[in-house]
Amino acid sequence: MIDLVRFLLGCSRRTVLASTAAGAAGGVAGVALIALVRRQLDGGAPAPAAAMAFLGLCVLAVAMRVASQVAMVRLGQGAVRELTLRVVRRTLRLPLREFESIDTAGLLATLTQDVVVLANALSSVPQFAINVPIVAASVAYVGWLSPLLFLCGVSFAALAVAAYMTLARRAIRELRAARRVQDRLVAAFQAMGSGSRELRQHDGRRRALLHDSLEPASAELRDRSVRAMATFAIADAWSQLAFFGFIGFVLFAAPRIQPIPTGTLAAAVLVVLYLMTPLDVIINGLPAMGRARVALGRIRALVPAMDGDEPEAAASTAEARPAFRESLRLDGVTFRYREGADDREFRLGPVDLELRAGEVVFLAGGNGSGKTTLAKLISGLYEPEAGAVLVDGQPVGDDDQAAYRSLFSVVFADGHLFGDYRGLPGAPDELARRAGAGLRRLELAGRVEVDGESRSFSTLDLSQGQRRRLALLGALLEDRPILVVDEWAANQDPTFKSVFYHRILHELRAAGKTLLVVSHDETYFEVADRVLRLSEGRVVEETPAAPDAIWPGTLGRGLLR
Ligand SMILES: Nc1ncnc2c1ncn2[C@@H]1O[C@H](COP(=O)(O)OP(=O)(O)OP(=O)(O)O)[C@@H](O)[C@H]1O
């Protein structure tokens, strides 16, 4: 709870204080109103001054309540934004291996639900802060009126709290289980999107998704949520019962134990009735707090510290990029994917290899031999378990990882296709010109256009081969020294495949790029300076035909000129 409050103060100290102050002023006005009512009931004269005071206090109580609630809404919405950004920043910064171990359905559920639940609960913290002292002050007032009523009130309250806590614990267990079901539901929603074609093509699959995943998960979510909320409602009813029990005690039992003046009894009942609103706020807020505890646990799994969030660095890592004049070496690099408790794990290495600046290196190997994994290691997306990576003989340290990654552009076989080229270096006009030249070179002109103003491409409704060409263009626009392409030509037609291997690679090489080409296209291996083959986790070098025989001379022009 304390770190929630600290987080909230960090979001907007001014709004928290304004909301608390307005709420407290409203509460004080309410108590003053009771005192006034009691004085009038005790036979105070109906003087105009008393009527004016009554009116003023009513207006003040209502106005302060509105002001406090508006501030709370602002606070809640601000907290949603802040929390979302914290989770997003943290997730974007996670090393790839850690990100891959996150359940993406769970991440989506956290971003769309947990942050909202938590932020809503956070926004009611000021209400708690206001109402708890009001309740305490009222109880003290009862104590001042009659120690007997005070003692009985405290006993009733202790009973109510104990019953409430027992039931609330049960409700929170249900909420936790319900939250896990939500992850399953989001995963099924994702399958609805990514499997849209398959689900329409095969009604058996569609029915299975509906009847075996979505329907049972949504039913379980409904049942668990109903059970949790019903348990909270029962807990609420218990506290109400204790409340009315106390009023009954004041009216019927207390006067039998000890003579209490009628005025004191009336005042005590008035105070207890006045307490109904703040107690309601507290009690009705508790289920939201329960949900928030569950949500916080989920968010914590992604953002361990609620405070201490570092903003995204403004400077580009490219500024610290190593020079890469001669070579990049992997020395005894090893890596493995752990598959859990059993022994099924993929091991790569130890790998020793060298990429020399300006050469075209092909990486070959059977399915599952580790080519993509090695490409991720070389490009800095995975960190080696052992061994070293050296650029021009200098080892790449832990703090140099981001700068090292900025040496590479990578086109993955299953990569994401960005519809824009925002965030890439260069003046907007120059980028638009290079993008236009690239579209023509990759034979996409006429199908895709460049919108220089929004730095985006006109469409992504493309064939698989065209999508890969656009992905390659995006990587080329990044203009980094080393280009890694993974199975790029797999879905190109034979004519363009030949253009890619014989001309595009050549032009990139001539423009000074170093190329690592993951490929199964053995017929084109002749265009490589060197061919590396992965077999049983080790890299073996093969000797291809001399590339100069294939590539006579150098075109000397870049691809995007
Ligand atoms: N994220 C991952 N977690 C666990 N194991 C993985 C992961 N990615 C790949 N693997 C396993 O690592 C091995 C190598 O995979 P990798 O994708 O590097 O092979 P590849 O040579 O690129 O295959 P292909 O030619 O089929 O693309 C495979 O056995 C694969 O199942």
Residue whose Cα lies nearest atom 7 of ligand 1: it is: 337
Closest residue by CA, ligand 1 atom 2: 337
Q: Which atom of ligand 1 is nearest to the CA of 413?
A: 27
Task: Compute the distance from residue 411 Cα to the ligand 1 centre, in Å.
Answer: 16
* The predicted structure's pLDDT at residue 436: 94
Half-sphere exposure of 229 (CA within 13 A, CB side): 8
Nearest-atom index, ligand 1, CA of 345: 5
pLDDT value, residue 71: 82
Preceding peptide of 350 cis, ω within 30°: yes
Cα 246 from Cα 202, distance rounded (Å): 64
Task: Identify residue 183 by its one-letter amino acid code.
Answer: D
Quick check: CB of 263 below 6 Å from ligand 1?
A: no
10-residue averages of pLDDT along the chain (561 residues): 66 78 80 82 81 91 85 80 85 87 85 84 72 76 83 84 87 91 92 92 93 96 95 86 84 83 82 77 77 82 61 61 88 86 77 94 93 96 94 91 93 93 89 94 93 91 95 94 95 94 93 95 91 90 63 52 65
Which of 337, 377, 385, 411 for a ligand 1 pocket mutation test, highest count of atoms within 8 Å of Cβ?
337
100 Cβ below 6 A of ligand 1 = yes
Establish whether this prediction's ipTM goes over 0.90: yes
Q: Are 385 and 334 in contact (CB under 8 A)?
A: yes
d(CA 109, ligand 1 centre) in Å: 27
Q: Which residues contact 164 (CB under 8 A, 6 or more apart)?
A: 235, 236, 238, 239, 283, 286
Residue 445 CA to residue 328 CA, distance in Å, equals 36
The answer, yes or no, to whether any atom of ligand 1 lies below 6 A from the CB of 370, is: yes
Q: Running DSSP on this structure, what letter comes out for residue 522? A: G
Best of 346, 374, 382, 485 for a ligand 1 pocket test (most atoms within 8 Å of beta carbon): 346
Residue nearest to atom 17 of ligand 1 (CA): 372
Q: Which of 326, 380, 329, 324 is nearest to 353 (CA)?
A: 329
The answer to whether the CB of 409 is under 6 A from ligand 1 is no
Strand duo 450-451 + 456-457: pairing: antiparallel
Q: Is 556 helix (H, G, I), strand (E, B) or coil?
A: coil
Q: Annotate 83-102 with three-state secondary structure.
A: HHHHHHHHHHHCCHHHHHCC
Beta bridge mates, 531: 362, 542
CB–CB of 302/102 below 8 Å?
yes
Can you give the pLDDT at residue 553? 47
The residues pairing with 346 across neighbouring beta strands, listed in sequence order, are: 337
For 527, the token pair is 């265009």
Q: How many Cα atoms within 13 Å fall on the side-chain side of residue 293?
A: 16
Mutating to test ligand 1, I would choose from 334, 348, 373 the residue with most ligand atoms within 8 A of its C-beta, which is 373
Q: If you write DSSP's letter for every residue of 185-203 in order, what string do you get?
A: HHHHHHHHHHTHHHHHH-H
Distance CA 176, CA 181 (A): 9
Q: Is 519 in the pocket of ligand 1 (CB under 6 A)?
A: no
Tokens of 203: 């009604």
Placement of tokens 């890469």 in the chain:
324
493 vs 504: CA distance, rounded Å: 15
Measured CA to CA in angstroms, residue 561 lies from 156, 437, 442, 481, 542 at distances of: 83, 6, 13, 17, 34
What's the CA gap between 342 and 419, in Å, rounded?
41
pLDDT at res. 556: 42
Domains detected in the chain: 2-302 (1.20.1560.10), 318-423+464-550 (3.40.50.300)
| Count of Cβ atoms closer than 10 Å to residue 248 Cβ | 11
Supply φ then ψ for residue 389, to 5 degrees: -115, 130
* Residue 308 CA, ligand 1 centroid: distance in Å: 36
Tokens of 57: 């206090």
Token pair of 377 as six digits: 């290691």
Ligand 1, atom 24, residue with closest C-alpha: 367
Rounded CA gap, 513 and 223, in Å?
Answer: 59
Q: Is the CB of 497 inside a 6 Å radius of any atom of ligand 1? A: no
Q: If we measure between CA atoms, which residue out of 332, 321, 329, 480 comes closest to residue 392?
A: 329
Q: What single-letter DSSP state applies at residue 396?
A: P
Location of structure tokens 């249900």: 174
10 Å Cβ neighbour count for 18? 19
Question: Alpha carbon of 203 to those of 196, 199, 208, 209, 235: distances in Å?
Answer: 12, 6, 8, 10, 46
Quote the tokens at residue 276.
Answer: 């109904």
Cα–Cα distance, 59 to 379 (Å, whole number): 67
Q: How far is the CA of 370 from the centre of ligand 1 (A)?
A: 6
Q: Which residues of 173-202 are buried (b: 16+ CB within 10 A; e: fewer)?
A: bbbbbbbebbbbbbbbeebeeeeeeebeee
Question: Burial code of 509-520, b = ≥16 C-beta within 10 A, e = fewer?
Answer: bbbebbbbbbbe
Distance CA 517, CA 508 (A): 12
In sequence order, the β-bridge partners of residue 139 are: none
Measured from the CB, is residue 371 less than 6 Å from ligand 1? yes
Between CA 384 and CA 392, with CA 387 as vertex, the angle to 5 degrees is 100
- Dist. CA 496–CA 442, nearest whole Å: 9
Token pair 């001379």 is found at 553
Cβ proximity of 119 and 11 under 8 Å: no
Question: Is residue 303 a contact partner of residue 347, using CB atoms and an 8 Å limit?
Answer: no
Contact (Cβ atoms closer than 8 angstroms) between residue 485 and residue 478: no
Beta carbons within 8 Å of 515's beta carbon, 6+ residues apart: 359, 360, 361, 482, 483, 484, 485, 505, 508, 509
CA 191 to ligand 1 centroid distance, Å: 22
d(CA 10, CA 305): 13
Sign of CA pseudo-dihedral 533, 536, 539, 543: negative
Ligand 1 near 54 CB (within 6 A): no
Distance CA 271, CA 139 (A): 8
Measure 369 CA to ligand 1 centroid, in angstroms.
7
Atom of ligand 1 nearest to the CA of 518: 22
End-to-end CA distance of the chain: 59
What is the CA(373)–ligand 1 centre distance, in A? Answer: 6
Spatial contact of 460 and 467, defined as CB atoms under 8 Å apart: yes
Give the global pTM: 0.76
